[in-house]
Each structure stands twice: as C-alpha cells, then as structure tokens.
Structure 1
Amino acid sequence: MTEGAVSSHDRLYIGGDWAAPAGDDRIEVVSPVTEEVIATVPAGSRMDIDRAVAAAHAALISNPWASTTLEDRIALLERLRDLLVKHSDELAQVITEEMGCPISQSRAIQVVNPVRILEGYIEAARQYPFRSVRRSEHGQALVLREPVGVVAGVVPWNVPLSLTMQKLVPALLTGCTIVLKPSPETPLDAYVVARLLEEAGCPPGVVNIVPADRDVSEYLISHPGVAKVTFTGSSAAGRRIAELCGQDLRRVTLELGGKSAAVVLPDADLDLTVEALRLGSFRNNGQICTLKTRLVVPAGLQDEFIDRLGGMLDTMVIGDPRDTSTQIGPLVSERQRTQVEGYIEAGLAEGGRLVRGGGRPDIDRGWFVEPTVFADVDPDATIAQREIFGPVVAVIPYAHEEEAIAIANNSTYGLNGAVFTTDLERGLGVARRMETGTVELNGSPAGFQAPMGGVKYSGVGREFGREGLDPFVELKSIGVPPAIADSLA
C-alpha cells in the first residue's frame, strides 16, 4: 500500500463465497499517519448478519464440518498457520497502515503472536478431555464436551490479527463455527485472513467475516442463531454486550480494559525495570489493554526512576510507523487522540506533576501524542483510575510494601500487573496479593498456555490454554451401563 492509494473491497466473506453486500453503505479506513482514506469496505447490514449466521449454522449441522475429527480441525489450522507465516510481512504492513503500529512492532508482535496463539491452542486441544468416563458408586457416565454452536467473535482495532486468532482458533478446534466482526477502524487484515482461510481449504460457512458498525454489531450479538459471544474491547462496551447476552442467557466471554500496576520494590534492578517498560508500557503507541500504566515506585526512588525512564524514552523514536526506526507512532484515530489529550488535561488539572511530554510532537500530519509521564500522582486521580489507551503513564510513590499493594489494588480493573524485585520469593508474595488475572515477575511473560483474562471490570472468562477452550464447549453426561464404560474411556 502506498501513500494516498485507496484499496476498495466490494464483497463480504459469507458461506465460503465472496458475497455482494445487501446494502450500499461503506466503511472508510483512514490512515492515522496521513489522515487520508486508504481503503473502503462494505458496511455489513442486518441482512448480511442473517446470511452469515445462517451459513455458520448450516456448516455446523450439515456440511463436512459437523463430522470432522479433532485431527481434521488441527490440520486445517496448521495449514492456516503456514499461510500466516508465509504472508506475515503483508499482514504486518496492512496492520501498520490501518492502525499505526510501528512496522518493527507489527513484524515482531502483531504477526508473530497470532501464530503463537494458534500453536498454543492446538497444543491445548491435543490434551483436552473432549470425552471421558466418570465413575461413582451411584453410576457411571460418558462425559462429552461438544461444540456450543455458532460463535460471534467481535474484534477490536488495537491488535486485530492476534484477537482474531483468539476468537477463531478455539471456536474451530472445538467444532464450532463463527461469524467474525472486525473493527471498522481495522477491517483490512481480516480480508487477508479470509483469503488465507480459503487457500487453507476452510469448508464453506465455517468462518464468515462481516465488517459492521455498532448497531449491526449489536444485532449480531443478540442474534437468536448465535450461541456464544466472545468480545475484546472496552469495559463500557463489555457491559453493554453482557446486558444484551443476559437477556437471552447467551454465553459470553469478555476480555476488557485494564489499568495495570507495575510495583517496583526497593531492591529492584532499575535498569531491567525501565527496559521492560519500553514495551511493557509503551508498545503499540500505548494502545494495549495489558500495559502497565500505573508505575508504583518507592518515594525515595521516584526521581531516580523518572530519570532512567526519561533516558529510555529518549531512545524511542517518534514518527512515521512505516519507518523501521520508529518506536512510537500515531494513535489510531483523531477521536482517540482527543480522548488521550483530555486525560492529559485532567492530569494537570488534578495536580499531577508533568515531567515529560503532554503535547504533540513536531510532525505535520497524523494523530500523534508525545510519550507522557506524570509524577506524584494521587492514586485516586483520574489518570490513575481511568484507562487512557495512549502513551501516558502515572508514577505513584509509596512509603512501604503494604501501601504499594493497596495502591495496586485500588482500581476497578484487574487485567494485568507486574512486580520488579531482585528477591523473587518476595516478588511472588506481592504478586499473589495483587487483584488481577495475570502478574509478570521482572517482565516474565506468562505464555500462551496460561489462562489470560481479568477480574472486576476487566472481564469475564479466560482465554488461552485449556481454560480458553472451555467456553466453546457444552458439557453432556450420558449414563452408561458398567459393561461398556471401560470401552468408552
């Protein structure tokens, strides 16, 4: 894609075909760098959703997908994996163009993690108890884990390919079919995925992809033909989706926002800590829900920590995300930049000490915000409580360990967190007391076999590993005579 070029897509991927949309509405994809339209795609309508759900339902019960074995499903996904690897640079460039992630991070994260997610789920599926026998003195049962049905997967714009894989792969491995709804900001990578699924030999209707705006998305989520919804996005949107699903007792998994705390203990290696925060707090231009945006630091180390953090930020080039030297690019949209700047204003108004950034870099075009650091932030301040989703962090000083833990837990969110210390046993003790779904000790990732999800306003349910397959299956118990129980195990 070259600057100023417009790449139009005229079809939707429904029922294994490139189908003409029912309406004429279009979604414009706007470059966060040039602020110009770089592509258009059809805006799916309710009629398109009806067709997609019907195709998914038909595939679930009548075409070869209904009788596939686990190995058949794994084979399809392994072919998809190979194609994702083969087309990784194309996908990286598409994601950078549509949402502004620096190309170096798109290549290293945005297209690498989806493959890791896919492979992790395959590994989990090979060990998953799709059938087992349970015995007791009162009877014995064949326990089956069967596909829950048609899944609606709603994908946000910040890491679109990774989150597409988080929805699509467990659905397919468990025998479900899916209607994917990519974000209006980033539908282009989903078109590449559809093309690769075709090439991989995905049966018709197993995967359907329909970009759509909010009202049509709600129609999908509440569609009577949908058995389960899996959503990643803001907590506000998650509450609305939970409300809609609750009306029909529809299953739902929600991976929502975060305001994650990094607790820096007094004995921490500050060089290691600050380097871990390069990506831990600022990757993808600050637009990741698991980023550590509350930096909880001993009061006596705050100034030294800020100096080192500033030195690290000095090495992060701000600019065109298509340049391989860039580490901080633009925000995804003008609306997102306006929101982030509003939080910076709130930080200043509430007495936060601005020690770095706070404005726009000297770049002619694009929705850029400087990496911004506030110090001496009150734990209850807006910038310490609200998810900003931009390159803005709040440094919060503490006097003792108990206070640090209290600050970390002083949040309506609980998605991720971190502890930095040279005393690993002490660090584990602090991690276990943090009210959050995942904690990283000295920057160590949990990997894709560990369950990932949040507590409080950060979500419902888990993704990855065995726990990530559980929401896509329905349990069935069949009482069986003792004589055949052994043969069924």
Structure 2
Amino acid sequence: MSEVVMLQNIIRGQLLEPTERKIVGRFSFPVTTAQDVASAMKFARFQQAEPLDKVLRVLSKIGRDASWIGDEDLKVQAELSGSPIKHMRNSIQAVNHWLANIEEYVKRNGTLKEIGDADQRKTVLLDRNGMLCQGGLTTMFILAGDEISIAPWNIAQALLAGTKAVVKPSRIEPLSAFLFTKALIAEGVQPPALLYISRDSDEEQCFVGTLIKQTQQSVMYGEDNTVNTICQPFGFRAEHKYLAYLTGRSGAVVYPDADVNLAAEMIIRGACDDRGNRCNSTKKVFVARQLAKDMELAMVREADKLVRGEPTDEATDIGRNDPQARVFAQQWASSAQVFYDKDMFLMSVPQTAPVLKEELPYPSVAVCYYDEGQDPVELMNNSVSNTYLGAAVAVSVFTRSLDQFNLASSRMHCCKTLLNLPSTAYDFWTAHQRWHLFTELMRKVEIVVAT
C-alpha cells in the first residue's frame, strides 16, 4: 500500500496534530476546527512582519537550493490532480528561478532603501513613484485549482508585503503549500498560518467567511461563479480590499503573415498545459480565413503529437482529465464543427458563438475565422466585454511583424500579450491580471520633505 501523506495545519510556525482527519487519495487532511480558525486569526493580528532583507535572503536561498519539494512529492501530487509530472517539474523549476532572483524581481517594482541609524537599520521598499510601502495588513488567501506553484508564489508575495496572512491551500493541490511553509520554518522565518479548510460541512463552509470578515483584505482564486458564491454573502465592506484572480478567457490572434506551424504548436501547448484548466489556457483563437485549411491541419497534427498517459509518466503531455469537465465541454462542442476529439476538443465556430465568451475547464479551443477587412482585435475584445474582468488574462499574437504585434497589444483588452508564444508560458516576473501582488497588499505612504 502506498504511504499516506500527512498534511497538518500550521500556526505560529508550529505543526498542529488534528483531532480528526479525512483521507483523499494518498493525502490525509486535517479537519480544521473553530478553535484552529480563532487561533490563526489571533496569530495574524499580532504577528510581526519579518524584516524585508531577511525575507529576500531566505526566499533566494530556498529557490537556489531547490530542495523544498522533491520528485516523489510531485508524483504523489500528480496522482491526486491528474496533472502531468512533466508540467509540474517545469512549473517548480520556474518558480525556484524566480525565488532565487527575488531581489531583482522586487527591484523591478521599486527601490530597496536602507533607513535608520546604525542600531536600527532596516530595509524598506519605495514604489516607482517614491511612495513608501508598508505591510502589516491582515490578509486571507483562498487558493484554488491545481497549479503546483500557486501556493509558494502567494506565500512569497505575502512575506514580501509584510502582510499578516492566513492561507487556505487548494484541496486539489494541497502539498506545495505545506512543504514550502515547512521550508520557511526551517530557515527561521515565521510563515503565514496555514489552514486546510474543506467545504464538506456547513461549519467548515462558514470558516472562510469568518476569516474574510475578520481580515482587512483577501486574495481569492477560482472560477467566477465559485468566487461569487464565496463573496456574495458578505458584500463588499469599504475597509476590506478584495483581490480576485478570476477565470481568464485567454486566447490567441493569428494574422495572415503568421508562421502557421509555429502558431499551431503554441496554440495546442497553450490549450493542453496542465489539462487546459489554467486561467491563461488558450480557449479561443481568431484566425485569418485564408489560413483556415492549413491551420486546422497543423493543429490536428500538433494535437496528435501529444503523449497521453499516466500523469506520473515522464513522457505524458496530457494526464488524467476530469470526466465531468469533458461532459461540460462536450455540451458546448455539440453546437460547433468539431475537427478533433481525442481528449481535447478543437472546433470551428462562427463569430457569434457563445462559447467564445465561455471558460471551459477542459482542453478545448474554439477557432473563429475572420475575413479580410475585419479586425481580429475587435473580435477578441468583444469576447471578453461582458466578463467579470472585462479583459483576457493572456493573449498570444502570431505575426512576423513586431509593429503589428505592438499595434495589436495597444488595443487589446487583456492583461498580457505574448508574441509567438503559448498563452501559458511560465512567467512569475511580470504582472498577473495587471498586478504585482506584493505591492497591492501593502499600504502606501507618501513622503513629503520640506525644501
């Protein structure tokens, strides 16, 4: 029998042994109690932020050592989520590189400055406008989905911001939060409180609401409806800052001069990375009609190259997809002209197709053709006009012309454009949904000096 991974809540840097557990796959989850929630909140209120220079030093060391999560850990996680281990390795490698160079990342978003006298020196952050950034706000992090690096990235952002945080890890990807928090403790850093909260009982469902109500700001991940379900009962308090990472409506635009084979390769990769359920997964593509035949043939060819298999297999590109997600995607595909159906859907649709405005949690691409004289950027913008974000998270633009790319980017309603790259390209350095999270979590103080 495979060994069960024992997860634990962590408060004040201490691993707590629960009175009750639940087994899901090879994971044993602690059942969080009202006392755990109260203790975590009390800790958050009185927690002192770690010095910024210490945070930078420790995060960089953890990234350079790259030992906080191992290959066996990834295999266990792959068994639960179905995400290919190859994808998770690449994601962890990318986040470790970001951590190893964390000071450079911070300096891209502001200026590190030492203040105080010799006995009380401290490092502070000034933003690009010279405003002093201060931490100290209590923050609730509600993580969802199964991207392996979401948890360490968010915990690192909380530490950079000096926020007093409570983190609820994802039930689908629970391991990286636990292991990364343990790595911080081993390096002498007081981490945010970690609480595994399920929604299996009425009491547990109330815990997230309690924590949101008692904190000053919240960071939330999930599908639009999920986020709305969690937040709707509480409304929006004037003093509570709410940062939601919603579904992405990401996609691509292919201009007539594009390299069709390259575009097809990148689109398929963007559609199937991590089983196509990331916020930046490619879900729709607007293609010049004269490329239609070549594009469909190239996309089918690239899709057929994908290796199907067990998520723990080294070669697997597409792991174990969610059967319910397939049923949902199939309902949308039934009204389209499907030209590929082998554990991912490729379909051509008219410009009025409702699926262009949807976020299917399954590897699927709706291909929409535009005629000469039509503007693909306008079509892309229309597809996100009535969404929560009012923009796509990421849009790949395929063209041989840098001027064309820059012009399209200047008009695109999106958070990020990528030239001849998949929408899912790993990138922890640039803004996500237009934010660099750690600066959003901090208070800004304008410094006025008499002249």
Give the secondary-structure state (helix, strand or coil) at the position aligned to 1:145.
strand
Contact 1:281/1:393 (<8 A) preserved: yes
Which one of 389, 398, 409 corresponds to residue 420 of structure 1?
398
Q: Distance in 2 between matches of 1:86 and 1:186?
A: 16
CA positional deviation for 1:116: 3.4
Partner residue of 2:409?
431
Unpaired segments ≥5 residues, structure 1: 30-36, 134-141, 359-369, 454-460, 483-489
Which one of 11, 15, 19 corresponds to residue 14 of structure 1?
11
Q: Are 1:471 and 2:444 counterparts?
A: no
Partner residue of 1:485?
none
Give the secondary-structure state (helix, strand or coil) at the position aligned to 2:105.
helix
Instruction: Give the AA of the match of 2:428.
Output: F
Partner residue of 2:79?
97
Q: Distance in 2 between matches of 1:119 and 1:251?
A: 30
Instruction: Give the AA of the match of 2:353.
Output: A
CA positional deviation for 1:270: 0.9
Partner residue of 2:357?
385
Q: Distance in 2 between matches of 1:273 and 1:217?
A: 45
Structure 1 residues 113 and 407, CA, compared in 2 at 3 Å: closer, same or farther? same
Partner residue of 2:226?
237
Partner residue of 2:44?
56
Contact 1:121/1:170 (<8 A) preserved: no
Partner residue of 2:94?
113
Residues 375-421 of structure 1: CA distance to partner in whole angstroms, max 9, x if unpaired?
A: 2x123434322100211111111103634222211222521111101
Partner residue of 2:126?
none
Equivalent residue runs for 1:405-416 within 5 Å: 405-409=377-381, 410-411=383-384, 412=387, 413-416=391-394
Equivalent residue runs for 1:170-185 within 5 Å: 170-185=157-172
Instruction: Give the AA of the match of 1:18.
Output: L
Contact 1:94/1:189 (<8 A) preserved: no
Partner residue of 1:277?
267
Give the secondary-structure state (helix, strand or coil) at the position aligned to 2:359.
coil
Partner residue of 1:191?
178
Which one of 329, 343, 346 corresponds to residue 329 of structure 2?
343
Contact 2:209/2:230 (<8 A) preserved: no
CA positional deviation for 1:106: 1.5
Q: Are 1:125 and 2:106 counterparts?
A: yes
| RMSD between superposed Cα atoms in Å | 2.7
CA positional deviation for 1:221: 4.3
Instruction: Give the AA of the match of 1:17.
Output: Q
Equivalent residue runs for 1:222-233 within 5 Å: 222-224=212-214, 226-233=215-222
Partner residue of 2:376?
404
Q: Are 1:307 and 2:297 counterparts?
A: yes
Structure 1 residues 185 and 216, CA, compared in 2 at 3 Å: closer, same or farther? farther
Q: Are 1:208 and 2:193 counterparts?
A: yes
Q: Distance in 1 between matches of 2:137 and 2:147?
A: 26
Partner residue of 1:168?
155
Contact 2:397/2:419 (<8 A) preserved: yes
Instruction: Give the AA of the match of 2:184.
Output: L
Contact 2:95/2:428 (<8 A) preserved: no
Give the secondary-structure state (helix, strand or coil) at the position aligned to 1:278.
helix
Q: Are 1:41 and 2:10 counterparts?
A: no
How many residues matched? 422
Q: Distance in 1 between matches of 2:291 and 2:416?
A: 26
Contact 1:245/1:251 (<8 A) preserved: no
Partner residue of 1:371?
344
Residues 128-186 of structure 1: CA distance to partner in whole angstroms, max 9, x if unpaired?
A: 347799xxxxxxxx9532104222212113203x2113321121122223211111222
Give the percent of matched residue pairs that are identical in Structure 1 and Structure 2.
20
Contact 1:15/1:55 (<8 A) preserved: yes
CA positional deviation for 1:312: 0.8
Of 115-124 and 292-301, the range deviating more from structure 2: 115-124
CA positional deviation for 1:121: 4.4
Unpaired segments ≥5 residues, structure 2: 116-129, 200-204
CA positional deviation for 1:423: 1.6
Q: Distance in 2 between matches of 1:10 and 1:116?
A: 26
Contact 1:428/1:441 (<8 A) preserved: no
Partner residue of 2:127?
none
Contact 2:58/2:187 (<8 A) preserved: yes
Taking structure 2 as the reference length, what is the TM-score of the superposition? Answer: 0.85
Taking structure 1 as the reference length, what is the TM-score of the superposition? Answer: 0.79
Partner residue of 2:255?
265
Contact 1:280/1:292 (<8 A) preserved: yes
Contact 1:131/1:145 (<8 A) preserved: no
Structure 1 residues 194 and 124, CA, compared in 2 at 3 Å: closer, same or farther? closer
